[in-house]
Amino acid sequence: MMLPTHALGGMALGLVVGAVVPEFAGIALVAGLFGGILPDLDMYAGHRQTLHFPVYYSVLALGALVPALLVPSPATVGSAVFLLGAATHSLADVFGGGLELRPWEGTSDRAVYDHYRSQWIAPRRWVGYDGSPGDLVLSMALAGPLLLRVDGVFRDAVVASVAVGVLYTAVRRFLPDLAEVLFGTLLPVLPRRLHERVPDRYLQSHSR
């Protein structure tokens, strides 16, 4: 799934928590937003492996719920929602597409790496792929309740996420061709050591 969907999903978690403990509504929204974003910071460094931990984030999130319930505070509630956002992101990517350059082709058997079992989890493709129409519909569904309940900078974040999601969905199928042209031009002139920084899906495409 695309980053805007994960960001909105994290904020939706924060919205639910904020309804239960309204005094921590703000911190819950912030924590959910950043927790939903965190795993995708590995986009160009072992994507869906380096910072995606579907099992460990889930265990940590469950553990963080205990102090959040027993001793609610900005720190305990924020930590719990942050970890819930990261866990939800890591698990949700299993239900999208794989890691191939054109995920709508359905050729990859890798969705998210399970560090606990030291193996890749296969994509379920219930939501198609990142930037698919189904992914955008999910983003819109998550944004709806948020737009009804939040205001100020949080509302701006929701609107911005939806706008980015719409734009990304519109251009998603053109991006692989653009990437092939870009890397086809740059790879021959880049130092070999920099090739290691290029995601495998681009290198494989260029080598065909």
Whether 59 and 110 have beta carbons less than 8 Å apart is answered as: no
What does the pLDDT read at residue 182?
Answer: 76
Whether 46 and 95 have beta carbons less than 8 Å apart is answered as: no
- The verdict on residue 79 lying in a domain is yes
- The verdict on residue 39 lying in a domain is yes
- The verdict on residue 190 lying in a domain is no
Q: How far apart, in whole angstroms, are the C-alpha atoms of residue 6 and residue 22?
A: 23
What does the pLDDT read at residue 205?
Answer: 52
Dump strand ranges (E) for 35-173: 112-114, 119-121
- The verdict on residue 189 lying in a domain is no
> In terms of C-beta density within 10 A (0-12 exposed, 13-18 middle, 19 or more buried), how is residue 185 classed?
exposed
Q: How far apart, in whole angstroms, are the C-alpha atoms of residue 160 and residue 134?
A: 19
What does the pLDDT read at residue 44?
Answer: 79
pLDDT in tens, the chain (208 residues): 999 999 999 999 999 999 999 999 999 999 999 999 999 999 878 899 999 999 999 999 999 999 999 999 999 999 999 999 999 999 999 999 999 999 999 999 999 999 999 999 999 999 999 999 999 999 999 999 999 999 999 999 999 999 999 999 999 999 988 877 877 776 677 676 665 666 666 665 555 4
- The verdict on residue 50 lying in a domain is yes
Joined tokens for residue 134: 């189904």
- The verdict on residue 184 lying in a domain is no
Treating both helix axes as pointing N-terminal to C-terminal, what angle do 54-70 and 74-92 enclose, rounded to 10 degrees? 150
Angstrom CA distances, 33 to 25, 38, 62, 68, 109, stand at: 12, 9, 18, 18, 29
- The verdict on residue 181 lying in a domain is no
Q: How far apart, in whole angstroms, are the C-alpha atoms of residue 196 and residue 142?
A: 36
Domain carrying residue 51: 3-174
The total of structural domains in the chain comes to 1
Q: How far apart, in whole angstroms, are the C-alpha atoms of residue 13 and residue 83?
A: 11
What does the pLDDT read at residue 19?
Answer: 96
Angstrom CA distances, 74 to 27, 69, 155, 174, stand at: 6, 12, 21, 43
Whether 13 and 61 have beta carbons less than 8 Å apart is answered as: no
Whether 180 and 205 have beta carbons less than 8 Å apart is answered as: yes
- The verdict on residue 158 lying in a domain is yes
